[in-house]
Amino acid sequence: MRTVITGLFAILGIVLCLPYHFYLKHLAKKKPEKAYEKAYRLVKGFFSGVMFFAGCRRTIIGREKIPTDEPVLFVGNHRSYFDILSCHNSVGFPVGFMSKDSIKKIPLLYLYMDDIGCTYLDRTDFKKGLETINRTADIIQSGHSMMVFPEGTRNHGEELLPFKDGAFKIAQKAGCPIVPVSICGTDQIMEANKHHMIHKHKVIIEFCDPINITGLKPKERKEILETIPGIIQKTRLKNLKEE
């Protein structure tokens, strides 16, 4: 029943809010910042409804560590579609996501992702992938934070998958801090369940200390970036005990 109710809410929300999406598109031509803020509030409300019906109970740790005077690149592990919902509504300000381009196959959903500044990565085309990385960095430089999942796919194993270096190229080009994010429990809501049925579960989102790589020599930067997966994994394992 929870799966049906959550699914119906999601479908109805996407369809019924479609006129508002077109309003945002029109507004963005004249007042892009205002449109971006309104899109954030719309998506936040929609995500809150989905998480409520799904029984997603969030615990947020370390939000005070997030820099508030400049945009940042959030880098997190990837367990579930609910990672995006949980992280978006945990940050406290607008944030876009770099997603796989296959997300565009979901009818209408990508329209709202466009509204909050999401970008789409085509891993089969190196040139297009590089363009997406540059586009994501440009968005950050314009003043809007972004989030990426460097594992590249939803991972249900105990260990993190190797991080792809595109995320770090974004931070380097944008000249912004990196905030590692540990995501714990989201897969237990849907992906870890038989037939992907939705069950209520506790989710822990923890923001770790920001990392600044600006001005570092290549060797120093490489050494610091290589510590990020370990930071996220150590934090995730700690929070697993709290689920």
Average pLDDT of every residue of the chain: 92
16-27 residue pLDDT tens? 999 999 999 999
DSSP element (H, E) containing 132: helix 126-141
In a domain, 103, yes or no: yes
C-alpha distances in Å from residue 30, one per residue of 23, 26, 43, 205, 234: 11, 7, 21, 36, 45
For residue 243, pLDDT over 80 is answered with no
Q: What share of the chain is helix, strand, coil (3-state, %, to 5)?
A: 55, 15, 30
For residue 72, pLDDT over 90 is answered with yes
For residue 183, give the CATH number of its domain: 3.40.1130.10
Structurally, the chain folds into a number of domains equal to: 1
74-108 residue pLDDT tens? 999 998 999 999 999 999 999 999 998 888 888 88
188-230 residue pLDDT tens? 999 888 888 999 999 999 999 999 988 888 888 888 888 999 9
**Domain, as residue range, for 212:** 57-240
d(CA 135, CA 141): 10
C-alpha distances in Å from residue 242, one per residue of 57, 200, 236, 237: 13, 16, 10, 9
d(CA 148, CA 139): 13
Q: pLDDT band at residue 155, thresholds of 50, 70 and 90?
A: confident
Prediction pTM value: 0.93
- Can you tell me which residue has the tokens 């369940």? 193
Amino acid letter at 5?
I
In a domain, 32, yes or no: no
